[in-house]
Amino acid sequence: MIIRAEQPKDWREVENLTREAFWNVYRPGCQEHFVLNQFRNDPAFIPELDLVMEEDGRIIGHVMFSKAEIILADGTAFPSWTFGPISIHPDYKRKGYGLKLLQYSLERARAMGIGLLQMEGNIEFYKRAGFDLASKLKIHYHGEPAESEVPYFLAQELIPGYWGDREGTYCPPAGYFVADKAPEAFAAYEAGFPPKEKHLAPGQLPQFCQSCGMPLTKDEDCGRNADGSISFGYCWHCYRDGRFLKEDTMAASSR
């Protein structure tokens, strides 16, 4: 097993790996491969921490890091960093590769002078690499009350004393939201990959009907497009066979 810098010749393979790793994990389908594709040209991208893991000549893992900021109480921006997506091919998951890739990249980040990391993830995994709730460091999550203990918002001070006794609010880099900001570009990019079925699944981020607000927890809750495919944006009460059933739906005028 080796870990090395990602090269341009690896880009498509790594994006496909990322797609396979995240498909139907946090939402029906995934966006992480498009985020990676676009982020390489983002000023916040850190090329020295754009790493791939190989086993027997095959790329089985990848991680990227990004610059970030924490907004302090006085409105000033304090430099920080984040990472992700971190991907392990489904065939190699739960075999320790993800933790090895993470630990290697954290050591490399520390050696580069990166003092503080925040990220969103499962604490049961990331605590094994030294992460804990960000609220314990008085780092708040954007969009949540300062007193909230957000269970998936984690942090780690890589260089002791870097953060000190400060308090502030973390905002993820704008590049992480590129698929939502440019849906047509994302759809065109996704069309270049082999088709895969999207599904709602347990453990995903909460999904709601954009018309009535009904929780969408399984495929059967969703409406259907005219071609019979699932519409993950609307429930079957509001949307069937490619049309809205309620004239007052919030989305009917914009679809």
* Interval 199-230: pLDDT, tens: 999 988 899 999 999 999 999 999 999 999 99
> What pLDDT does 250 receive?
47
Which pLDDT does position 143 carry in this prediction? 84
> Which domain does 226 fall in, by range?
206-255
Whichever domain contains 88, its CATH number is: 3.40.630.30
- What pLDDT does 247 receive? 58
Residue 160 shares a structural domain with residue 254: no
Residues 118 and 53 in one domain: yes
Same domain flag for 103 and 27: yes
Return the residue matching tokens 């109480």.
73
pTM for the full model?
0.88
- Which residue ranges of the chain lie beneath pLDDT 50? 248-255
Classify residue 128: in a domain, yes or no.
yes
Domain tally, the chain: 2
Q: Pairing mode, if any, of strands 77-88 and 132-133?
A: unpaired
Measuring CA to CA, which residue among 213, 231, 212 is closest to residue 223? 231
Are residues 35 and 148 located together in one domain of the fold?
yes
* Amino acid 147: pLDDT: 86
Q: Are 249 and 211 in contact (CB under 8 A)?
A: yes
- Examine the domain organization and report whether 171 and 252 are in the same domain: no
The string of DSSP letters for the chain reads -EEEE--GGGHHHHHHHHHHHHTTTSSSS--HHHHHHHHTTSTTB-GGG-EEEEETTEEEEEEEEEEEEEEETTS-EEEEEEEEEEEE-GGGTTTTHHHHHHHHHHHHHHHTT--EEEEES-HHHHGGGT-EEGGGGTEEETTS-TT---TTEEEEESSTTSSTT--EEEE--GGGGHHHH-HHHHHHHHTTS--------TTSPP-B-TTT--B--SGGGEEE-TTS-EEEEEETTTEETTEES-TT-TTTTT-
Q: Does one domain contain both 93 and 166? A: yes
The verdict on 217 and 174 lying in the same domain is no
pLDDT score at 144: 87
